[in-house]
């Protein structure tokens, strides 16, 4: 097959998209970005945001919205591949902005696919940035019932400070297992549901159109460029902005909740692997490290690296829609595409902190976001 040259990245001014776009241009691709420079990510002066400034001289930038047919039409002209990343991404926020999240994430995806089903426009590859959020609480082992998929944790348990998952059959405590791509989709948030619907729309229409599609389920991505002003997602940047403002860190639950944190460079490398490799066609891949890290460890590590003495408060509060743990089984992407994460947690966090140290101090909007979550009944 002819090599891919022109790549459209929707949401390409965002954290992952901007790194991906720059990496693609360095590798000889010609990149177009469709992005509305949303204020939540890019701040009140978006044309001066760190992320936008980092890409603007290297890509063709189209300011537009994935909910607008004309914006897609003008961005799609002449493209060989589309990497669809534009999305609303706050798990907690998605629980009270149900329409907006569905509109952007599902509606925007549906519009792209609707246009392509009518006219493929020469597009030969589709890539979607999905999320570990599709797994919800993920996969566990019950010693009596084997592999199980716990539902969202109950209010009673959470209120009583019991944060772990239970077997959905016998209600006994269960042991965490990594999620693999065939694990049950079991989202516990509106965000997770929208990501899963995106996947299904992609796979079903891509097969019908014979345009190979690749779905990546990213774990928690972190690294330089992560929005330091968005208080709704990205624990590394939320904690960093609080520390830099001299404010105490608020850790939910008992701090033992964990995630699989993957460094931005590894995320970009994994994404590019599937762009040209036909083995990836119509496949779903986890992109993670396969190693869980708990939130309290991150809080401690960051305060130490910034040489800060801000207190770390373990609140015992919890957010509705949040999950306890998740980490990825990355056997499939390793085997099919030869992916190996090159940056472990120590190396990645050091590089992130070095970057933050050179950024201007951002206002700590976290208390406002907490107030908003509380007003919407999502923090208890
Ligand atoms: N960062 C993570 O840890 C993570 C984890 C799993 C999945 N993902 C997925 O990866 C993708 C990129 O995430 P990110 O962390 O770079 O997010 P981000 O918020 O930094 O970037 C998203 C970009 O999309 C743009 N955008 C938002 N709404 C838009 C609209 N209606 N029209 C056009 N552009 C719009 C924003 O301006 C922003 O530049 C998303 O699809 C997200 O769901 C991210
Ligand atoms: Zn059981």
Q: List per-residue pLDDT tens for the chain, 380 residues long.
A: 678 999 999 999 999 999 999 999 999 999 999 999 999 889 889 999 999 999 999 999 999 999 999 999 999 999 999 999 999 999 889 999 999 999 999 999 999 999 999 999 999 999 999 999 999 999 999 999 999 999 989 999 999 999 999 999 999 999 999 999 999 999 999 999 999 999 999 999 999 999 999 999 999 999 999 988 887 778 999 999 999 999 999 999 999 999 999 999 999 999 999 998 999 999 999 999 999 999 999 999 999 999 999 999 998 988 877 899 999 999 999 999 999 999 999 999 999 999 999 998 778 787 777 787 788 877 67
How far, in Å, CA of 250 to CA of 299, rounded?
9
Q: Which bound ligand lies closest to the C-alpha atom of 149?
A: 2
For ligand 1, what atom is nearest to the CA of residue 191?
43
How far, in Å, CA of 260 to CA of 131, rounded?
12
For ligand 1, what atom is nearest to the CA of residue 198?
41
pLDDT of residue 1: 64
Q: Which residue's CA is the nearest one to ligand 1's atom 1?
A: 221
Ranges of each domain in the chain: 6-139+178-375, 140-177
User: Do the Cβ atoms of 376 and 321 come closer than 8 Å?
Assistant: no
Beta bridge partners of 328: 179
- The string of DSSP letters for 257-310 reads -EEEEEEHHHHHHHHHHHHH-GGGTTEEEEES-S-EEEHHHHHHHHHHHTT---
Q: Which residue's CA is the nearest one to ligand 1's atom 21?
A: 14
For ligand 1, what atom is nearest to the CA of residue 17?
16
Q: Which residue's CA is the nearest one to ligand 1's atom 28?
A: 87
How far, in Å, CA of 244 to CA of 250, rounded?
14
Residue that the structure tokens 């082992």 belong to: 141
User: 355 burial class (0-12, 13-18, 19+ CB within 10 angstroms)?
Assistant: middle
0.85 cut: is pTM over it? yes
Residue 310 CB neighbours (<10 A): 18
For ligand 1, what atom is nearest to the CA of residue 128?
41
pLDDT of residue 158: 92
Q: Write the CATH number of the domain with boundaries 6-139+178-375.
A: 3.40.50.720
Selection from 261, 278, 256 nearest residue 347 by Cα: 261
User: 242 burial class (0-12, 13-18, 19+ CB within 10 angstroms)?
Assistant: buried
User: What distance in angstroms lies between residue 229's CA and the mean position of ligand 1's atoms?
Assistant: 14
User: What distance in angstroms lies between residue 335's CA and the mean position of ligand 2's atoms?
Assistant: 32
User: Do the Cβ atoms of 216 and 285 come closer than 8 Å?
Assistant: yes
- The structure tokens listed for 202 are 């992609």
Substitution site in 85, 190, 192, 288 for ligand 1 pocket (most atoms within 8 Å of beta carbon):
85
Residue that the structure tokens 């070095």 belong to: 354
Bridge-based pairing state of the strands 283-287 and 213-218: parallel
């Amino acid at each position: 097959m002819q090599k891919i040259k022109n790549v459209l990245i929707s949401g390409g001014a965002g954290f992952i998209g901007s790194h991906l776009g720059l990496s693609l241009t360095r590798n000889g691709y010609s990149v177009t970005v469709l992005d509305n420079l949303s204020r939540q990510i890019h701040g009140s002066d978006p044309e001066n945001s760190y992320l936008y400034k980092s890409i603007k001289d290297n890509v063709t930038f189209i300011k537009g919205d994935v909910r607008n047919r004309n914006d897609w039409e003008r961005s799609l002209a002449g493209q060989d591949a589309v990497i669809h990343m534009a999305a609303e991404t706050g798990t907690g926020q998605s629980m009270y902005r149900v329409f907006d999240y569905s509109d952007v994430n599902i509606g925007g995806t549906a519009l792209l696919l609707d246009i392509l089903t009518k006219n493929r426009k020469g597009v030969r590859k589709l890539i979607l940035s999905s999320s570990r959020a599709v797994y919800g609480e993920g996969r566990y082992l019950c010693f009596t019932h084997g592999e199980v998929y716990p539902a969202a944790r109950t209010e009673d348990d959470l209120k009583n400070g019991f944060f772990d998952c239970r077997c959905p059959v016998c209600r006994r405590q269960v042991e965490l297992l990594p999620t693999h791509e065939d694990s049950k989709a079991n989202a516990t948030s509106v965000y997770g549901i929208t990501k899963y619907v995106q996947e299904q729309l992609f796979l079903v229409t891509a097969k019908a159109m014979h345009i190979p599609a690749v779905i990546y389920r990213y774990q928690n991505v972190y690294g330089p460029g992560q929005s330091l002003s968005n208080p709704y997602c990205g624990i590394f940047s939320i904690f960093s902005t609080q520390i830099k403002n001299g404010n105490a860190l608020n850790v939910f639950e008992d701090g033992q909740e964990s995630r699989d944190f993957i460094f931005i460079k590894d995320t970009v490398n994994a994404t590019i692997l599937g762009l040209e490799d036909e083995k990836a066609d119509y496949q779903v891949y986890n992109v993670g490290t396969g190693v869980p890290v708990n939130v309290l460890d991150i809080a401690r590590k960051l305060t130490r690296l910034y040489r800060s003495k801000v207190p770390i408060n373990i609140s015992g509060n919890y957010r509705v829609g949040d999950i306890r743990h998740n980490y990825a089984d990355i056997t499939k992407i390793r085997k099919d595409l030869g992916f190996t994460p090159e940056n472990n947690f120590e190396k990645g966090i050091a590089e992130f902190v070095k970057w933050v140290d050179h950024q201007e101090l951002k206002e700590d909007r976290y208390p406002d976001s907490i107030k908003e979550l509380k007003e919407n009944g999502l923090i208890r």
